[in-house]
Amino acid sequence: MAQAGKNRIGIIGVGQMGHGIAFNIVKAGYPLVFLDHPGNQPVDDLLARGAARASTPADVARQADMVILCVTGTPEVEDVLFKEDGVLAGMRPGTVVIDCSTAIPSSTLRVAQAVEKAGGLFLDAPMTRTPKEAAEGRLNLIVGGDPALFERCKPVLQTYAENIVHAGPIGSGHRLKLLHNYVSLGFSAVLAEAAACARLANVDSAVLLEILAKGGGDGVVLGRLRPYIESGDTANFRFSIANALKDMGYYTTMAEETGAPHGTAQAIRDTYADASRAGIAQAPVPQIIDYLAGPPARH
């Protein structure tokens, strides 16, 4: 149950990642209010520990000293902040807004300016790892914003994160998250193409995995995709193809805005886009192997 004297935390987005964040915050004794939304995971465990529901983002903000956003991406962040009954409409002076979503950094800067103009404070704190680590309170956070504010918020962040890095000023967290996801999703696309080619070339998948693991293909991505290649198990990699496409789109937007080369990134984005158009947008990333190994007419 909530402990006296602790800041009241609001959270918007109690989905696969947000539910783990919310549960660990309330488990640590912080009073919690969350946005009631159809996209939430079951919340009985949160309610049992004293968390409260709110009907609008403004209602969440009115009741919170700190509002954590854990929504899909830039359009959703802007919507929950700026709409008529959004966070900015209910936010009190001094409220801290922490955006854990994956977002386009140029939007992050505009959002931060709007929050500060309304009297609030802002950190971008996107996360890496999976819903499993979210439930365990073992996420990685990449935080952008004022160092003093970061230190003040760290006790709350530590309730649901194992590794927390202060990346620099506002926007740095989201820039680094996109760089991270480009590398991770890029490796995934490369490995998926290799696995599809191996299947079509009648190469034994067990031998392929052994060679990769003992050579230059070893690493986190191989570990995540390996159970699917071996037995069709997606539990290690529940990130959807739609989300992969979104993040690759955000990365190429950032690269375009900064004048960075992004030919390889565009090709990877196109791979996820083709799979999405083929009707498997909500499938987990490992299933792109089956799409790539399918009949030529499919791609």
83 is catalytic: no
The values of phi and psi at residue 58, to 5°, are -60, -40
Counting Cα atoms < 13 Å in the Cβ hemisphere of 68 gives 31
Residue-wise DSSP of 220-270 = HHHHHHHHHHHH---TT---BHHHHHHHHHHHHHHHHHHT---HHHHHHHH
Q: How far apart are CA 144 and CA 132, in angstroms?
A: 24
Count of C-beta atoms within a 10 Å radius of residue 215: 8
User: Which one from 6, 27, 177, 214 is the annotated catalytic residue?
Assistant: 177
| DSSP symbol at 284 | B
Going 221 to 187 to 73 to 40, the CA torsion angle's sign is negative
Cross-strand partners of 183:
none
Residues tagged active-site: 177
